[in-house]
Amino acid sequence: MKTLLRPAITLFVLLSVATGIVYPLAVTGVAKLVFPGQAAGSLIVKDGKPVGSKLIGQNFSDPKYFWGRPSATGPMPYNASASSGSNQGPLNPALVDAVKGRIAALKEADPTNNAPIPADLVTASGSGLDPHISPAAARWQAPRIARIRSLSEAEVSKLIDAHTEGRQLGLLGEPRVNVLNLNLALDRLARP
C-alpha cells in the first residue's frame, strides 16, 4: 500500500506546485515584461489615478456625455464579474420592451434628433461589457453633446474622428470608438 500511496501523493504535490504556483507566476511574469499595460488591466489613467479600463465599458447616463452600449450584466451595469449576454432572442417580449425603453430614453435626451438610432445604442453586446460604440452611434449623439456643452457639431465630430479606432490589422472587426476615452477627451476640450 505504501509503495502505491507515496508516489501518488508525491506526484500530486509536485503537480499542484507546478501547475498551481510555478506556471501561473511564470506566465504572469512574462506577461508583465512583454505586455505590461495589458497585464495590468489595460487601465486608463487620468491625473495619475485609474479611471477605468480600455476593455470594460462604463455606465454614462448624463446627457453631456457620450453613452455606450447598454449592459446586459446584473445586478449593476458593466459588472465584470457577471459578464454575459441577456440570452434574449429577437422575438422575446422582454428584449423588445428593453429596446423600446432605450429608444425612448435616447429620444428624451435629444428630442430634436430625428435620425435613425444606430442598433448598438439600444442592444447589448454578447459580453454585456463592450466599451466601444460604432462611429455612427457616436455621431448620432454629437448634436446633443454639442448643444449641452456649447460646442459646434464640427468640434464634436472632429473629436469623434480623432478617437475612432480602425479595424485590427486592417481586416478584423469594424471601426469603433472607446466611449471612456472619448468622454475624457470631451472633458479636456470643454470642461463640464
Digit-by-digit pLDDT tens for the chain (192 residues) are 778 888 899 999 999 999 999 999 999 999 999 998 888 888 888 888 988 888 888 889 899 999 999 887 777 788 777 777 667 788 888 888 989 999 999 999 999 999 999 999 998 887 778 899 999 999 999 999 999 999 999 999 999 999 999 998 888 989 999 999 999 999 988 765
pLDDT of residue 23: 96
Q: Can you tell me the distance from the alpha carbon of 177 to that of 161, in angstroms, rounded to the nearest whole number? A: 9
The ranges assigned to domains in the chain are 1-40, 42-189
Residue 57 pLDDT: 86
The CB density around residue 32, as the number of other CB atoms within 10 Å, is 13
Q: What span, in angstroms and rounded, lies between the C-alpha atoms of 64 and 146?
A: 8
pTM above 0.85, yes or no: no
CA trace torsion 87, 139, 115, 86 (10° rounding): 10
Model pLDDT, residue 142 = 95
Q: How far is the CA of 133 from the CAs of 34, 66, 150, in angstroms?
A: 29, 10, 23
What integer pLDDT is reported at residue 191 of this predicted model?
62
